[in-house]
Amino acid sequence: MSSDMTIASLGKAYRDGTLTPSGVMAEIRTRAAEFADHNIWIHLLSAEEQQPYLAALADKDPQQCPLWGIPFAIKDNIDLAGVPTTAGCEAFAYTPSVSAPVVQQLLDAGAIPVGKTNLDQFATGLNGTRSPWGPCRNAFDPDYISGGSSAGSAVSVALGLATFSLGTDTAGSGRVPAGFNNLMGVKPTRGLLSARGMVPACRSLDCISIMALNSDDANAVLACAEGFDAEDGYSRRNGYDNLSRHYGFRQGPLKVGVLPQQQLQFFGDSEYQAAYAATLAKLAELGFELVEVDYSPFDEAARLLYEGPWVAERYIACQPLIEENPAALHPVVRAIVEPGGEPKATALFRAQYRLEALKKVCVETLEQLDCLLTPTAGRLFSVDEMLAEPILHNSQLGYYTNFMNLLDMTSVAVPAAFTASGLPFGITLVGNAFSDRALLSIANRIQQGLALPVGIECAAAEPAGLPQMKQPVMDNRRIDVLVCGAHLEGLPLNWQLTERGALLKSRTRTKPCYRMYALAGGPPFRPGLVVDESDGAAIEVEIWSVPATEFGSFVAGIPAPLGIGKVMVEDGSVVTGFICEPRGVEGATDITQLGGWRAYLASR
């Protein structure tokens, strides 16, 4: 079996006939036994249990099923029909008759389940050691933690036992294990993936997450897994500009927020600190503009998750066991969750008031950036270190992650470097809700720029599994609009831009192939810009950056004979801007020789 387990590589091998899905699954089962001491699986599917899924491939067209024959792992707090769901607690286990909607959609796309993976019990933890099935151990060095709670989901992909996996992410559980195992980890916008069929940790904050070898695979899986679920009260419809077609290779300048030195925390891990500094230096070389932002409001929001009343939601999730069989809970999980029955409603409302104030600041900060960039975690602890200080070190693991769902943000964990000891270090990109594809496109650019190997293929001379997507994509949150008349800064219709949140981007000129006319009518008086390739001139214009959400209403208010088209600018670019229908200049005054609308107004 090839060491390259990406979707593209396996798909090619299937088409070439060098591999078959049944052969891949048999090899995975054999190799899984070699890693038994990593404590990856709670339930590894047998050949008999996998056979119905393999048989179903015969009726599926690989051209229509983007995950045809692709092996995937499922965190054992997400339902797979006919296989027990334990949430890491045998006393809680039940056997669902139907799969979670997200799992079913992946099965429908041709994916084959490998098994149910180990986790921090009831998804309470970021370390992977809080399980009766034993601590799940890091793919690179079993003396170190895997990260959690989606521990086995990460290690299974890193060790080549699955192409991708499903985890869950309430406080960082899909990002920290991805970072510790050299994987891409996507924490989608809350509600983008249905949460039905998932054992809740904090139901109002939970989301199913995806771990994969690269951004191409992560996007392909997200495209199959996402979708509005009318039976999930927290499900949300995706927007057009966050659909899969908007994923690609991010072009253009990137303004990336980073933390000031005094707000960074590495908890004594000098190798992670060095890896982070080296990563930022490399990104700067690749053209990323790094600007410092204040992390304190994000950090304050993060502390609300465990120090505030939201721990009550974890209490609700396992309340029957706490009240009837508390000994069934892992001791550390019980110590964290049990006090969740105490907070009063007044404490929740006070926390919500503060959270809304913090959210306003944090969302506005991100609106000025293409993304925020942080270390995924500040330190990689050994298993022994974690067992000695389970609550303190777990809190430290959440320093860069716990704020995310409380603030309704999305994020992508990206492999970034290896430490001097050969352990993975990762960064996380953060954006506001429904920026999933924008972040994945930036992650694509980072992965191709850094050219790291993926999974445990660290010794590969030519790293396998790197993203291939080269489709150029730009920032789609704003649209550049070229104006040449009454919408210029300070003129009568400029309010139509400024009141929509538009920002003046530049003052420039068109290519010398336009004529300008003063149109009849008014006030307000308006010019008309028309193409004249043989006898045109350069015309002074302004380019404004308009929020994409406001562009439609702006265009709808433009009266005939004016309209919006493409205008050529003197630097060679083509910008959306004002044009005039040829019939509109009949009887109008030619003012081309003045070089622009302001000059015309001054001449009157």
Give the mean model confidence (pLDDT) for residues 330-353.
Answer: 81
> Helix, strand, or coil here: 177?
helix
What residues contact residue 580 under an 8 Å CB cut-off, 6+ apart? Answer: 517, 519, 527, 528, 529, 530, 561, 562, 563
Q: What is the pLDDT of residue 534?
A: 93
Annotated catalytic, 411? no
pLDDT for residue 287 is more than 70: yes
So where are the chain's domains? 7-473, 478-603
Q: What is the pLDDT of residue 511?
A: 97
Options 9, 75, 153, 359, the catalytic residue: 75
Give the mean model confidence (pLDDT) for residues 193-197.
Answer: 98
Options 9, 131, 146, 149, the catalytic residue: 149
* C-alpha to C-alpha distance for 452 and 465, rounded to whole angstroms: 9
Annotated catalytic, 566? no
CB–CB of 166/208 below 8 Å?
yes
Share of the chain above pLDDT 70, in %: 98
Pair of tokens at residue 147: 């990260």
Q: What is the band of 1 on the pLDDT scale with cuts at 50, 70, 90?
A: low
Pairing between strand 249-250 and 288-292? unpaired
Query: DSSP letters along 184-203, please?
Result: EEEEPPTTSS--TTB--SST
Options 173, 194, 411, 435, the catalytic residue: 173
Q: What is the band of 460 on the pLDDT scale with cuts at 50, 70, 90?
A: very low
Nearest-5° Cα angle at 256, 254 to 260 = 155
pLDDT for residue 462 is more than 60: no
Lowest mean pLDDT among 139-143, 336-340, 446-450, 564-568: 336-340
pLDDT for residue 540 is more than 80: yes
pLDDT for residue 459 is more than 50: no
Q: What is the pLDDT of residue 306?
A: 77
Q: What is the pLDDT of residue 463?
A: 65
Task: Count CB neighbours of 338 within 10 A.
Answer: 16
Annotated catalytic, 209? no
* C-alpha to C-alpha distance for 200 and 185, rounded to whole angstroms: 20
Pair of tokens at residue 36: 């038994």
Strands, DSSP E only, in 18-134?
41-44, 71-75, 112-117
Q: What is the pTM of this model?
A: 0.92
> Helix, strand, or coil here: 4?
coil
Q: Select from 36, 39, 35, 9 the least CA-distant residue to 24.
A: 9
Superfamily of domain 7-473: Amidase signature (AS) domain (3.90.1300.10)
Q: What is the pLDDT of residues 476-517, one digit of tens each?
A: 899 999 999 999 999 999 999 999 999 999 999 999 999 999
Q: What is the pLDDT of residues 52-99, one digit of tens each?
A: 999 999 999 999 999 999 999 999 999 999 999 999 999 999 999 999
Helices 296-307 and 345-367 pack at an angle, to 10 degrees, of 150
Q: What is the pLDDT of residues 91-129, one digit of tens each?
A: 999 999 999 999 999 999 999 999 999 999 999 999 999
CB–CB of 495/590 below 8 Å?
no
Q: What is the pLDDT of residues 390-431, one digit of tens each?
A: 999 999 999 999 999 999 999 999 999 999 999 999 999 999
pLDDT for residue 264 is more than 90: yes
Q: What is the band of 235 on the pLDDT scale with cuts at 50, 70, 90?
A: very high
CB–CB of 31/22 below 8 Å?
no
> Helix, strand, or coil here: 490?
coil
DSSP 8-state code for residue 261: G
Q: Which amino acid is at 53?
A: Y
**Tokens 């057009």 — which residue?**
240
CATH class of the 478-603 domain in this structure: alpha beta
Handedness of CA 382, 385, 386, 391 (dihedral sign): negative
Whole-number average pLDDT of the chain:
94
CB–CB of 165/117 below 8 Å?
yes
